A = this chain, B = another copy of it.
Amino acid sequence: MSEVFEKLSGLDRLVHEPARLAVLTALSVCRKADFMYLLRLTGLTKGNLSTHLTKLEAGGLIRIEKKFVGRKPNTMLALTRKGRTAVEKHWRELDELRASSRDWDPTEE
């Protein structure tokens, strides 16, 4: 019954990491956002945001689209379908784990 804590301790770090959880959650609400927007939103440094995004792309959770707007470069980010399910699942899991830890009885098993 209580593999709750086993699950908790095994949460997917790619999604769970605070900066990435913020990015993924933001993208799950606004569907698309560019680099500079996410930069302001999260308060991360550029280098930091850049590597987190690369990591998310490598994991197949987001798509990175580079194009030119006028003559300026612009990097657009969006969740992949996999990414969307991953964030949603992660928050659901957190909710559930929190809830079931609440009414967990340590004296059993």
Contacts and interface: CB of A to CB of B under 8 A. Distances in A.
Nearest to A42: B9
A91 to B, nearest CB: 6
Of A8, A19, A29, A94, chain B has the most CB atoms within 10 Å of the CB of A8
Given A91-B98, A98-B91, A106-B33, A5 B26 contact: yes
A94 to B, nearest CB: 6
A106 B77 CA distance: 14
A25 B101 contact: yes
- Secondary structure type dominating chain A contacts: helix
Interface stretch (A10-18, A56-64, A66-74): A10-18
Interface residues of A, number: 33
Contacts of A98: 25, 91, 94-95
Interface of A: 2-3, 5-6, 8-11, 13, 16, 18-19, 21-23, 25-26, 29-30, 33, 41-44, 91, 94-95, 97-98, 101-102, 104, 106
